[in-house]
Amino acid sequence: MKQSPNDFKQYQPLTLDNGLRVLLVHNQESNKSAAALAVNVGHFSDPIDRQGLAHFLEHMLFLGTEKYPDGSEYQQFISQYGGTNNAWTATEHTCFFFDIHHLHFAEALDRFSQFFIAPLLSEEFVNKERKNIDAEFKLKLKDDIRRLYDVHKETINPAHPFAKFSVGNTETLCDKADRCLRDEVANFFTLHYVAKAMTLVIEGPQSIKELESLAIIYFSALSAKEIQDTLPEVPLYQPQHQKVSLQVKPVINDHQLIISFALPSIDQYYREKPESLISYLLGHEGPNSILSLLKSKHWALGLTAGAGVNGYNFKDFNISIRLTDIGEQHVDDIIDIVFAYISLLKQQPLPCHYYQEKKALAQLSFQYHEKMKPLDSVCQLVINMQHYPPEDYIFGDYAMDGCDPSIISQLLSKFTVENMRYVVVSQKVETNKVSRWYQVPYKVSAIPPEKIKRWQKIKKITSLALPPVNDYIDAKPSVHSANIDTSTQQTIPHCITEESGLTIWFKQDITFKIPKGYIYIGIDSQETLKSTKHIAMTRLFVDLYTDAVIEQHYDAELAGIHYHLYAHQGGLTLQLSGVSSKQDMLLTQLLTELQNFEFAENKFTLLKYQLINHWKNANNSKSISQLFSSLSAIMQPKAPSTEHLANALTQVSYAEFANFCQQIFQAISLEVLLHGNWRPQDARQIEAIIKQAFKQQYHQDNKVITESITIEGKGNISVPLHLPEHDYAAVLYYPMTERSLAMIAKTMITSQILSPLFFQIMRTEQQYGYLVGVGYVPINRYPGLAFYIQSPKYQADQLVAAMDEFINSCHNALEQMSEEDWQHLQHGLTSQLQENDTSLRIRSQRFWAAICNQEKDFKQKQRLIDCILALSKDDISNFILESLTNLNTVQDRFELMSIKHPKQGSTKAATQVNNKNLANFRQTCSIKV
């Protein structure tokens, strides 16, 4: 088995006597173990009169087994010992996975394996869980990705399994006169859940021999039957489904053009990956590309190429273009440009250097493979095992054996108008049909003959050309070794520069030993926060800057050097990441452009409109998402709501914005982190670049202190959101008044205790909704606890009452917990915090978060662990009684509700907050920093 020289795990493939393919992974660097099991069955195998059955079975397997009949026991066991678990159902595969502290892995595997050996599939949970499936279906009714899929399924060959409804609902999963759902789901399990259709990965610090023993003990009892089911060899499209245009009306105000070419399955080419070369060229964003020409005409904002549905006998190659309003009026002209570029690709064999560039990057990624968490690792490998032979379980995703011009030519021959369909997504399109499941308005039309002829004989466009050689690619970057004894090398960043308004932290990586690095430059500017209008202009600045530099630096992005400018509460952050060797060159250019880039008024107008439209589309988000957004806007004066941002930006003129851009960097404060494959002298060079770019514009007086409000003494504050087209939802949020580590520890462990119990009662037993939870939600570093439910049928005040009932009684569950279980729960949470950083990226993010939170000794995590371990069960019981329950006193909290009628909502709240009185409410609150 080929593995990266930077991968120090041990791997051992194994096939059990029942046919189960297993991969054992010894990982001595983790204190967690993880497992994933994939079965080669998905919604393609649903009976035509039981659509959604595979998905329903996935849910049912969590709800009790003959050995462990309690439907909540598995979830509670995993959570108690610091683990997580989940599952998903796709077209041809279903995957289950979990992780847990390694000392409890065997017990967890015992419970997990029983899913696939002897599930209960009890009648009681069949009746309850189909309601959860229905709630999950309704939760996504306004999801435009799901809606586009629904139209796609209705406009293909109805005999192909892709046409089936994948999720299921109470209609497709109802009991019928001659048969019941419980029997059918049991038969589906018996038929499809056989060892020969399954793959299993188990990873942990246990030895290979121990892991092998666990696999044999717990998974040998899986069914050894032969695989019975095969998918039909019918085409995805019949002739009448091609040469068509579709008009689809979305929920959000979006404009897209999706040009799709039907290919056969390309799985057999995984070692060559010819389609990646075509994607590389059609999706290029540099000069003379399709996107470059479209942007010059203000017809498009973005383009991706290559993605599309794929399966056992089909592959859609999509060219997806984000249109402007003007671009929507030029769809035919845009398709002209696409076919003109395709003709460039077909004219002659493509130069091999494009493939070699892709191969060099793939080899670089493999050679310096970044470590993953065990859970992420097993989830990736278990699906690879379904597609690749054992020797390529790891390497298959990176293999690029060579560029065969005949295969490229064969694929490009499919890029014709006869083999095309295109979709226009816009709220302006005319429609004459409505899809069955998601109620999507759409229209299908044959492409007129004159357009077919036009695209068959497309003319050359001189402004289109293939890209030049990419000089940014460094095929053999070096990894710098430390010049001092590694036993004394600092394990945390140290401050190499501390001046008024400029602090630079540096840490040379000696752990991961990869040729990569991360640069974070936090730029505080009071100018960006003067008003809601200034905050909105800052967001627009980010969009205009990103648009202005993307074409010039696209080669760097392709070569694995990434950059990202984003707004934070005090100003802007510029982040660079990836291959370290040429980051200094890119940083010099990016910082120069940051203060000097130019933009035309029509580009300003275009991106201003797009940003306002984006903010307005937030009104179509899930109701629970809108409630949490409102909470953030209320608690943080410098984080306005999307409605306020959109209104403010509407009033901004080109001249006003141009003047704002001149002011942003005049008075700033800088905080910088350099972490990765750099030596001290490299760090000094980067320091010089930053100083040269900003000269004497920085000073400590320009540092921004973020603020949030405190509601201490204000009791229950009601925040109703009138969302007549959305599900009901409610969030109860308890903000803590202090941010001591002791308070953070209490809040975190309370969330850990209550989360599985809340899920079991509110979703599995009471069926209030699909989206339910308890979460630790800090705002501006102050801890907080949120309880939430989104429901398609229970009104918000009913949800609040149910959550209050839970909160007022949940201390009983804690009292019933044994001391042993309490200690396991404590250690489960601390084990999550103690998990080693698995990659340079994760460690850099942790360092940067500590710097932003003013944790300059980088020891807060250990202090938090100590605080958690010092807590007693009584401490948490008292915390719940004193800070959450309202049995004896009214707690300070926010009660956010999604309501369908203005008169709905809480009547108990002392204060009600909405957009109209938000400013007045804030004036009554104290500010905390």
Q: Where residue 487 falls among pLDDT bands split at 50, 70, 90?
A: very low
Q: Is the pLDDT of residue 518 over 70?
A: yes
- What are 846-866's pLDDT values in tens digits? 999 999 999 989 999 999 999
- What are 171-203's pLDDT values in tens digits? 999 998 888 999 999 999 999 999 999 999 999
Return the CA Rg of the chain: 29
Q: What is the DSSP letter of 541?
A: H
Average pLDDT of the residues of the chain? 94
- What are 759-807's pLDDT values in tens digits? 999 998 999 999 999 999 999 889 999 999 999 989 999 999 999 999 9
Q: In the predicted model, what is the mean pLDDT of residues 226-233? A: 90
Q: Where residue 483 falls among pLDDT bands split at 50, 70, 90?
A: low
Among 12-26, 488-502, 546-560, the range scoring the smallest mean pLDDT is: 488-502
Number of other residues whose CB lies within 10 A of the CB of residue 869: 13
Inter-residue contact 593 to 545 (CB < 8 Å):
yes
Inter-residue contact 291 to 303 (CB < 8 Å):
yes
Q: What is the DSSP letter of 859?
A: -
pLDDT of residue 488: 44
Q: Is the pLDDT of residue 902 over 80?
A: no
Q: Where residue 922 falls among pLDDT bands split at 50, 70, 90?
A: confident
Question: Any bridge partners for residue 317, and if so which?
Answer: 261
pLDDT of residue 906: 58
Inter-residue contact 705 to 524 (CB < 8 Å):
no
What percentage of the chain carries pLDDT values higher than 70? 98
Q: Where residue 366 falls among pLDDT bands split at 50, 70, 90?
A: very high
pLDDT of residue 296: 96
CA distance 921 to 297: 47
pLDDT of residue 920: 85
- What are 805-833's pLDDT values in tens digits? 999 999 888 888 999 999 999 999 998 89
pLDDT of residue 668: 97
Q: Which three-class secondary structure state does DSSP give residue 910?
A: coil
Structure tokens that stand for 733 in this block = 């949020």
CA distance 772 to 624: 10
CA distance 127 to 346: 57
Bridge-based pairing state of the strands 420-425 and 244-248: parallel
Per DSSP, the chain holds a count of helices (H) and strands (E) of 30, 28
Which spans in 651-776 are helix H?
654-663, 680-694, 741-759
Q: Is the pLDDT of residue 511 over 50?
A: yes
Token pair 């009138």 in the structure block, residue: 722
Q: Is the pLDDT of residue 928 over 60?
A: yes
Inter-residue contact 739 to 760 (CB < 8 Å):
no
**Phi/psi class of residue 540: alpha, beta or left (left: φ > 0; alpha: ψ in -120 to 50)?**
alpha
- What are 666-692's pLDDT values in tens digits? 999 999 999 999 999 999 999 999 999
pLDDT of residue 178: 82
pLDDT of residue 904: 66
- What are 411-445's pLDDT values in tens digits? 999 999 999 999 999 999 999 999 999 999 999 99
End-to-end CA distance of the chain: 54
Q: In the predicted model, what is the mean pLDDT of residues 17-46? A: 97
Amino acid identity of 167? V
CA distance 92 to 43: 7
- Spacing of C-alpha 78 from chain mean position: 23
CA distance 755 to 766: 15
Q: In the predicted model, what is the mean pLDDT of residues 576-596? A: 95
Whose CA is closest to 72, among 829, 785, 755, 877?
755
Q: Where residue 482 falls among pLDDT bands split at 50, 70, 90?
A: confident
Q: Where residue 489 falls among pLDDT bands split at 50, 70, 90?
A: low
CA distance 497 to 51: 63
Q: Which residues contact 838 (CB under 8 A, 6 or more apart)?
A: 30, 370, 371, 372, 373
